[in-house]
Amino acid sequence: MPHVSHLASPSRFKALTYGALISLLLLLSGVAELWSSYQTTIAQGHAQARMESLLFSEWMRQDFREVELLQNMVAEQLEENDFQADQPVAERTALESRLVRAMRGVPQAYDMILVDRNCQLVLSFKVSPGFDARERSYCKAMLSPSKEDRFVSERFKGASGDLVVMATQRVRGVDGRVIGLLGTVIRTSHFQQLIDRTLVGGHHDVMAFADTRMQLLARQPLLSPMPVEPVNDPEARSMLQRGDVEASYEYTSNLDKRTRLHSMRKVERLPLLVTVGIDKETLLAPWRNKAWLMLGGWLICTLLLAMGVRRYQRNTELNDALATRSVAIDHAAEAIIIANGKGHVEYVNPAFVQMTGYRSEEICGQRKLEDVLLAEHPQFKPVLQSTILGGEIWRGELSSHNRAGQLYFETISVAPVMSAEGRLLRMVAIKHDVSDAKKLQADLIRLANTDELTSLYNRRQFMQRCTEEIARGQRWERPLSLAMLDLDHFKLLNDRYGHAFGDEVLRTFASCCQASVRIEDVCGRLGGEEFAILLPDTDRYTATQIMERVRQAVAALQLDNPQGGEPVYFTVSIGISELYPGDATATPMMARADAALYLAKQEGRNQVRAG
């Protein structure tokens, strides 16, 4: 029997060895699977953070784009005397009214300020004029030799005691010289309101806005109170020092001691940062559950079962992540379109349906992204394709029509989502309706160039047209005439029948002038009852004939007497001057026309005289 024992011992050893080898192979297979799953989960967390930070940075950039449009419109209307502290009360009141109307179009504007080129505060709705802003970064930016006229400051405590960010723009005169600074003040509470409307994925996930000094502007979840000192984030500071626009890293917060997968992105052309932090512990919770499951069942489960469980959990995690992002995108105010790497549209949010009128099933899987965005502008398709394939963001401002044929204006940004190998995975497009901003811009231009009562050119625009026509006339040696018109006894009419009747006289007179002159002639109200008409390509003799026609048409007008009785008639006196070879501005012409007008008044009114 000893030989039996001798033979059995190697068999048991072999069985134990085989068993140990099989167990070791299963264990190694399980460990390898867990490691791969860990890497995949971490990669998905970084990808999710990158996509969300990209969307949030675009929203932030669009927010400041509205402020930029507002400042462009307001800056075009400002003149050098608007930056003078001793500006007349009437002009200052009109300037303040324009700024108030402009601020209504951009709700994020808490205040608008004007600072002269000596860094003295000239106008503000929150701070008394005279504040010395030389130590402020926005004023230093104005005085710097940089050619960039726009500047956005870091967070600072304003004179009113609020934590604010200042978006500024240099204002230049007609000669290109800087005459002052226009600033829009945005409180950090606006950024908190913006971020509070955003849905982040997990309970411990974080989204925050900060400036380039790492001073927090807003954070979700909200910290109370908000830290005053800059956040100590070495990775973020390293990104800023390298000049990168994006960084992905793992960081343990000093505020709540939780480790997160961060994607930090610098907002284009702004000293602002958007960071999205996916909580690592929450992200790895499914992975930990999987590890315990495999640890408890690795002796009794086959490799096929383990692979099946892994595939199921991976799909579940992916579906949960997609559902979380879908909720955030579905509640976005902007229209969002997501396409695959080949350009086929996979998703549109409800805001897109509301903006365009096209249903989701008519777009998704049926049309390509470039056809949806540029159906009315096919000339931009090659530029869009080359920009996206180059890994860059394409932006455009276009006019489009919705399904009902209604015209609207929009800004479009299309961003690529690239793999680590540089392969195009997705395209994310954001459409923002700027029709209201465009309408506001047109209204501001009209108010800046026309007289509100008569709808004629105001003095500023009329003088600009005079300058253009004088330059054209001198260059091509063409005749040019200027007529000054003044209503006779207008003050008596105003005093006798009231200001409302006087306004009706001015409107009727303005309509008569426009109907009596030629299309190319320029009519303007210079102030009160004083009007002027510029007649291009017209010598003094022809101008006299045209103005005589105007005088006769005015004399034939009659208005109902507001007090009853006979209709009210009124007349006009007109003085004419012709462009002389030495005239470089409208001043000499206006002086000669005024002298002729004075002569017409002296000779009995209701006359046309040429000077």
Among candidate residues 273, 154, 167, the one with its CA nearest the CA of residue 210? 273
242 phi, psi to nearest 5 deg: -75, -15
Coil, strand or helix at 532? strand
Run of H or E residues at 425: strand 424-433
Distance CA(254)–CA(405), nearest Å, equals 54
Q: How many CA atoms lie within 13 A of 283 on its CB side?
A: 27
Among candidate residues 423, 540, 428, the one with its CA nearest the CA of residue 50? 428
What is the gyration radius of the CA atoms in the chain, in angstroms?
A: 36
Q: Concatenate the DSSP letters of all residues of 96-110 into one string.
A: HHHHHHHHHT-TT--
Catalytic residue among 529, 530, 548, 566: 529
Separation of first and last alpha carbons in the chain: 146
Coil, strand or helix at 72? helix
Scan for tokens 């600009």, then name that residue.
464
Among candidate residues 285, 324, 322, the one with its CA nearest the CA of residue 201? 324
Residue 317 bears catalytic tag: no
156-157 and 216-220 as β-strands: parallel, antiparallel, unpaired?
unpaired
Distance CA(148)–CA(524), nearest Å, equals 36
582 phi, psi to nearest 5 deg: -90, 0
Distance CA(95)–CA(91), nearest Å, equals 6
Token duo for residue 269: 């052309």
Contact 92, 99 (CB under 8 A): no
Q: Concatenate the DSSP letters of all residues of 113-182 into one string.
A: EEEETTSBEEE-SSS-TT-B-TTSHHHHHHHSS-S--EEE---EE-TTS-EEEEEEEEEE-TTS-EEEEE
Distance CA(18)–CA(450), nearest Å, equals 96
Catalytic site positions:
529
